[in-house]
Amino acid sequence: MAALLPAIFLFSLLIPFSSSSSTDASKKTFIVQVHKDAKPSIFPTHKHWYESSLTSISPNKATTSNPDASSTDCGAIIHTYETVFHGFSAKLSPFEVEKLQTLPHIASIIPEQVRHPHTTRSPEFLGLKTSDSAGLLKESDFGSDLVIGVIDTGIWPERQSFNDRDLGPIPSKWKGQCLEAKDFPATSCNRKLIGARFFCSGYEATNGKMNETTEYRSPRDSDGHGTHTASIAAGRYVFPASTLGYARGKAAGMAPKARLAAYKVCWNAGCYDSDILAAFDAAVSDGVDVVSLSVGGVVVPYYLDAIAIGAFRAVAGGVFVSASAGNGGPGGLTVTNVAPWVTTVGAGTMDRDFPADVKLGNGRVVLGTSVYGGPALVPGRLYPLIYAGTEGGDGYSSSLCLEGSLNPNLVKGKIVLCDRGINSRAAKGEVVKKSGGLGMILANGVFDGEGLVADCHVLPATAVGASGGDEIRKYIAEAAKSHSPPTATILFKGTRLGVRPAPVVASFSARGPNPESPEIVKPDVIAPGLNILAAWPEKIGPSGIPTDKRTTEFNILSGTSMACPHVSGLAALLKAAHPGWSPAAIKSALMTTAYTLDNRGETMLDESSGNTSTVLDFGAGHVHPQKAMDPGLIYDLNTYDYVDFLCNSNYSTKNIQVITGKIADCSGAKRAGHTGNLNYPSLSVVFQQYGKHKMSTHFIRTVTNVGDSNSIYKVSIKPPSGISVTVEPEKLAFRRVGQKLNFLVRVQAMAVRLSPGSSSMKSGSIVWTDGKHEVTSPLVVTMQQPLQ
């Protein structure tokens, strides 16, 4: 029997529902699910039916739709969908939305979110070298027949990272297109960049017609973020490469021969769900193998999350989806893009940094970092030093070096200490420079801790940690009391390699636990995301500030945005090496082979505090591409498994249908047991104490042998402290490749003393090994004390 597939409308709304009509200003975007098979036969197409539906609830509404809003135009009707969604977009008043809910073929209505981007040495750091005669790059032919779709801010196609030298013909499966525009000729695409589209209808529906003097109505990148992420995923080898003289060497993406398709959805005001959904729709229809998405928003239930919905339909079609975890760290519960069918990527450091230390007048040296590449300060000379927060009128604004907050008479000729926050790091330097300052020291706040990000500042500047900022402020205050004017200089030391410890979990990298599904550990993995060198547009200065007229072929950026495309590229390599692997199998290989020890042989540190990091910071660990190519065993999943998970998460069948596009059958979900029984490569349980003395649960897992036939795996258990863990059986004997075997994990915990509303997390691991492979799954046990 044919499943009842939903269609998707996208509509607009700003204020709560009202029974009366409202002005156009009250309109914002909604995603409306419609039963596709309910289309009356009198309508030749679904589009005609959609227009008739709108007319029926709003007789005075003009239904002037774009001829092809889903691919090229940016008009009043937002988008039409044909692949992962079926429907269209239009602006509706609250009254019209209320009326729409009364139509029998409407299944559900979802509010739109506005998302934002989560903004050369990394292939070598990951163990991917062109000289290897064997290994993942060689085995996958560098990913040459795979297509990575990058949903982002567009692309600057002329960069050498996107040249097509020595690439074969475009894969025959490719159905995408290269959209021409006045600043994006058809020749912008080649055998490397094989597709380029843009989606701005959702953006313009809310913000009005774009200002084409500040952004391009085309796939061309006017921000830099998309160019950067695309080249991380699949940039060609380019030598020499550097940013303002820093990080000199060879630049390369993870899958240098993989093909790229750019889907521009992010604009000056953000990335709108209606446009993101259109990009998913186009990408799957075009034939991408991997979707890389370095944007995110607030966490909501999956049936209200357009990214989760679009990703589910993509994964159901065999497309691997990786997404950035977000930059809300180091606080807990900050991770985004948490759906279990998405691979969620946090950020770590590499063994490379760019030291730029502060030398104070008292001889003390405070460690810092920068990629400033302009005229340096005079060697050996100390300059007058002030703290912006104690100068000028409004201490708060001036402490942050906000626009117009500094007094040029007090700043001129001095190095200025500014606090981090509100405006961008590079913008603070511009404020200091315009006020006559000679240099800037950017100090972290308490929340930022000791995590440092190197920036291409417009004046001599460096970033220091929270403790370093405190030390500098203390020195300034003490020097003022002693009537000895405070002085300092900045010592730029270039590029340093072989840094220890590395990797370290980046301070900004969003942390677990998973706010929506605590039984699913997120992030899944971490990858390099701090100070990453990658391609950069021609007409954008490296600081990203409009007044910065410097040009550079490459730029150094940080964020989980940079970590995500590392995993996207690795997924393409794994897919090329193992064409039969599902998206879940690829994720499993990346997770079970990830490592948690740094280059000192100790558990990775948390950059923000300097303390040991945990599973909630790094998930399964840091990706290890070479081991992922041969993981031994995988934890596989299909859409029916995800449906059981959603059923056991107490989602209604109606809400599950919004996510999956099909009528949900929850009758078999009880056989799966509980949400923790999703066949995920990590295991997590939350025990609600409720006065109980002893608590227990079990996990059922199925592993598939992708290693050697006639192999025997034995289990090694590292239980969380104070927790009893057993595994049955303790040995798995595989006779053939592809064989599946089950095992049962029992977890027993004793209640611990906790204050109401608090929790305690402990972690361990379960490792299966055959002497050749180590298949590791983190195990997280959380004890939670209810408020009452």
Give catalytic residue positions.
152, 225, 561
Contact residues for 439 (Cβ-Cβ < 8 A; gap 6+) = 377, 383, 414, 415, 416, 432, 459, 460, 461, 489, 490
State how far the Cα of 7 lies from the Cα of 48, in Å rounded to an integer: 13
Q: Tell how far CA 372 is from the center of its chain.
A: 27
State how far the Cα of 468 lies from the Cα of 444, in Å rounded to an integer: 8
CA distances from 637 to 17, 112, 677, 701, 708 (A): 40, 29, 11, 11, 21
Whether the Cβ atoms of residue 1 and residue 33 lie closer than 8 Å to each other:
no
What are the backbone angles phi and psi of residue 194, rounded to the nearest 5°? -95, -5
* DSSP β-bridge partners for residue 778: 765
Question: Which of 451, 464, 455 is closest to 556 using CA atoms?
Answer: 455
Whether the Cβ atoms of residue 509 and residue 348 lie closer than 8 Å to each other:
yes
Structure tokens at 437: 């300052």
Contact residues for 305 (Cβ-Cβ < 8 A; gap 6+) = 113, 299, 339
> What three-state secondary structure class fits 36?
helix
* DSSP β-bridge partners for residue 213: none
State how far the Cα of 242 lies from the Cα of 249, in Å rounded to an integer: 7
Whether the Cβ atoms of residue 252 and residue 236 lie closer than 8 Å to each other:
yes
Instruction: Give helix 639-648 / helix 306-316 axis angle, nearest 10°.
Output: 140
Give me Rg for the CA atoms of the chain: 27
Going by the DSSP 8-state scheme, the letter that residue 401 receives in this structure is T
* DSSP β-bridge partners for residue 155: 220
Structure tokens at 126: 């990951």
Whether the Cβ atoms of residue 136 and residue 577 lie closer than 8 Å to each other:
yes
Structure tokens at 500: 């220890």
Instruction: Give helix 306-316 / helix 273-286 axis angle, nearest 10°.
Output: 10
Going by the DSSP 8-state scheme, the letter that residue 554 receives in this structure is E
Contact residues for 651 (Cβ-Cβ < 8 A; gap 6+) = 301, 302, 303, 659
Whether the Cβ atoms of residue 188 and residue 227 lie closer than 8 Å to each other:
no
> What three-state secondary structure class fits 442?
strand
Going by the DSSP 8-state scheme, the letter that residue 310 receives in this structure is H
- Positive/negative CA dihedral, 323, 561, 578, 732: negative
State how far the Cα of 251 lies from the Cα of 231, in Å rounded to an integer: 9
Q: C-alpha angle with apex 143: 138 to 144, nearest 5 degrees?
A: 105
State how far the Cα of 553 lies from the Cα of 156, in Å rounded to an integer: 10
> What three-state secondary structure class fits 456?
coil
Question: Which of 173, 150, 177 is closest to 162 using CA atoms?
Answer: 150
State how far the Cα of 289 lies from the Cα of 578, in Å rounded to an integer: 13
